Amino acid sequence: MVRAVPTLVGALVCALSLLLSPIFASPVLAHGKSLSYSAWHFDEDGAQVSVRIPLLELSRLGIPLPLPGEGSSSPDGREVGEYLTQHLELITPDGPCTRTASPTSRPTETGWVRFRWSLRCPPGNQRTLQSRILLDEAPSHLHFARLTLESESESARPRIVERVLTAGEPSWKLNLAPPGAEPESPSASLSGTSFLSYGRLGVEHILSGWDHLAFVLALILLARNLGEVARLITGFTVAHSLTLALAVLGWVQAEAAPIEALIGFSVALIALENGWSLGGRGRGIPRVAVLALLVMAGLAAAGFGSLAVLTLVGLAVFMASHFELLRRSPDTGLHRVALAFAFGLVHGFGFAGILAEMQLPSDRLASALLGFNLGVEVGQLAVVALIWPVLALLRRTANGAPHRLFAEFASGAVFATGLYWFLIRTLGSG
């Protein structure tokens, strides 16, 4: 009877979480970072600007958005273009640089829009790049500006620098020397985002990535001691650091939509395993889960969703094998570490998106990658440092009954949330 009570609590929490997950686990909230990108090519008269931003981010504005295939000639496209040119400016001491023509849309990947326009500036080297894109709607919005400065010598490579613009630092002061000349203060005026800034970006990224945090919580929820926590977090960290580096360096590429779906799957599976372990390790839960994946594979065969049929069938086989292996084998914890490593590889691709989209020059990659990755680890360790003492205290209280009750409660909520992410990212538009 004692075992049935928390199991029932977990089931009720799971059902309630499924009802509330469309509110609290929306695709926007899963990755809290709101992002946009711009590329600037400067010449003697001004600059050419190209801006990329997800349609999902533009939906925050409440304005009509262009349909796929529509360009800047449509009313909705013109409204988006006007918004971007009004909120991304190049300013001189004599006033803003002026647009030479209306912004035009350019082809880009599905779910994004790209607009391009040219600016003419008064003579002079002093300019300020300022972004106010989405800051009223999403104060945490990050705008990545990438500058290309041409050299007068044909043999010299263009200089490329980048800067992350935020609500706290929305402006970038530039001292642009004419081609062939040196700027008066190059270190101050044309310095890119620093190592520490990338570290801070990594911390913010992990702390606002609710799917990654949910995975870490579910991963350590049933850990019996600090050594087991260390092994689990190390396995997850080594794996996601590996794929983060491979993806940012361009050595391995993965499509964003399937990766996001698999991240949701990883959250749901880890939480499901928790509930299965607490509920007696029977055959019923794995069988239902495998059947659900096979149904989704059937839907994929009919043309629904972002995951391929073979991928969903493979997930079903993996899940069946994983639970059967756990059921037959002694609980050494090694299976859990292996699972943390495997899913860490997937999460690494999710971490990589924010840096890969910046298209950093080769001489900036190592610094940005190391700083960002260290920031992710610092943020992750901070979360574990907050959660683990609470779990350890609950485990030592009243023969572990409060810990079991909390584990049931948390696993049910995390499973429902992860399941929602997996379904909406696989079958929905998010």
CA distance 147 to 149: 6
Tally of structural domains, the chain: 2
245 lies in the same domain as 383? yes
Q: What are phi and psi of 14, to 5 degrees?
A: -60, -45
Evaluate whether residue 199 is within a structural domain: no
In Å, the largest CA–CA distance within the chain is: 82
Q: Identify the domain containing residue 280 by its residue range.
A: 4-31+209-426
162 lies in the same domain as 284? no
Evaluate whether residue 203 is within a structural domain: no
Q: Say what the pLDDT of residue 148 is.
A: 82
Q: Say what the pLDDT of residue 26 is.
A: 46
Evaluate whether residue 85 is within a structural domain: yes
What is the distance in angstroms between the CA of the first residue and the CA of the last residue of the chain? 41
24 lies in the same domain as 89? no
53 lies in the same domain as 141? yes
Strands (E), 207-256: none
Domain end among 166, 193, 220: 193
Evaluate whether residue 202 is within a structural domain: no
Evaluate whether residue 317 is within a structural domain: yes
186 lies in the same domain as 334? no
Q: Say what the pLDDT of residue 19 is.
A: 46
> Taking Cα atoms as reference points, which of 52, 51, 78 lies closest to residue 63?
78
248 lies in the same domain as 333? yes
Domain end among 193, 224, 258: 193
Identity (one letter) of the amino acid at 245? Answer: A
> Taking Cα atoms as reference points, which of 161, 44, 141, 46 lies closest to residue 87?
141
- B/e letters for 367-386, b = 16+ CB within 10 Å, e = fewer, are ebbebbbbbbbbbbeebbee
Q: Say what the pLDDT of residue 266 is.
A: 96
Q: Say what the pLDDT of residue 320 is.
A: 92
Stretches in the chain below the pLDDT threshold 70: 1-32, 66-76, 150-158, 177-192, 332, 359, 361, 363, 428-430
Q: Say what the pLDDT of residue 281 is.
A: 81
Evaluate whether residue 223 is within a structural domain: yes
Q: Say what the pLDDT of residue 164 is.
A: 87
